Structure formats: C-alpha cells, structure tokens
Amino acid sequence: MAKALKCNLCDNHATVHLTQILNNKIHKVDLCESCAQQKGVTDPNGFSLADLLIKSTGGEEAGADQALKCPTCGYTRRNFSKSGRLGCPDCYDYFKDTIDSILANMHKGTTHCGKVPVNARAHISLREEVSRLEEELKKAVDAERYEDAAQYRDRIQEVRKARDQNE
C-alpha cells in the first residue's frame, strides 16, 4: 500500500494494525502508538475492540450530516462519533442509520430478544390485542355481521383506553 494509514482515533500515522473476528466478520483497526497504548491494545490480556469500532465507524459514513441533532436532548451526530456515547434514549431514533450499522457489526443480532419489563410487556400485549380485534372487526364487517362488529369496536376502544393509561 502506497498511502500511509492514519490512526482511526486521531490523525497520527498508524503503526499498530489489528484484526479481530466478531460474528464471523473481520474487523480491522489501525492505530498510532499512543492511542494503542491508551486503549490497552498492547496489553496481552486482551482489550475490547467493540469500543474502538464505534469510534472508528460511528457516523462517518459518506454524506452523514455531522450537525444532525437529537431534538429531545440536543446531542449531535458529531458528539456521538467523538465519544461513542449517546445523549438520551431518543437518540436511538434520530441516529438510527448510524447506530443500526454499528449494531449489526457488533452484536449477535439487531433485535432484542431478552427480558422485557412488565410495563412494556403489558403495552406490547395490548397493542397485539388491538390489532387482533381490528382483524376480527374487518372480518365481521365483510361478513355483514354488524352486531359482532359493534362489539369488536367497543372492545377496541376499551383496550386503546387501557393502553393509553398504561403509557
């Protein structure tokens, strides 16, 4: 390679080149001596590449607007690519594109399948109940079973109300 590689964390000349296989994907990170030291990369006991990955890929894809701001907390995409941390829970929505690509690189999957808090569980099951009832309602209307349809409509309103109280 003719061009000297730059450190992923600062602009110095990179002398430490690392490869780690995560999720069957090969990740390469290039660092200068001092960043490598600082990150504990030279520590033979191992280090966390994931942390480095965020900083080297965070928000730097072509065309990403660095000034994009989370309307809830005022955090910018530039803040994120610099620190690797987010400002508030809503940042996950506003920087979705950037975060999704990082998550796909870093984790086993991109969807949560673990524990769900009781509050959220109730909310999820109510939402599922509404969509089930809506389907029944449509079927009833299609079959001109208007009495049933009216009952479904009432039930949907009840569940919606319960869901809103739950929020």
Q: Does 66 bind another protein (CB under 8 A)?
A: no
Q: Does 71 bind another protein (CB under 8 A)?
A: no
E strand segments, 14-108: 16-22, 25-31
User: Cβ distance 78 to 67 under 8 Å?
Assistant: yes
Q: Does 50 bind another protein (CB under 8 A)?
A: yes
Q: Does 103 bind another protein (CB under 8 A)?
A: yes
- Among 4, 62, 112, 142, the residue binding another protein under the rule CB under 8 A is 112
Q: Does 106 bind another protein (CB under 8 A)?
A: yes
Give 93: exposed, middle or buried? Use CB within 10 Å, 0-12, 13-18, 19+: exposed
Q: Does 89 bind another protein (CB under 8 A)?
A: yes
Token pair belonging to 148: 């049933």
User: Cβ distance 55 to 84 under 8 Å?
Assistant: yes
Chain positions contacting another protein, by CB under 8 A? 20-23, 40, 43-48, 50-51, 54, 73, 75, 83-89, 92, 99, 102-103, 106-120, 124
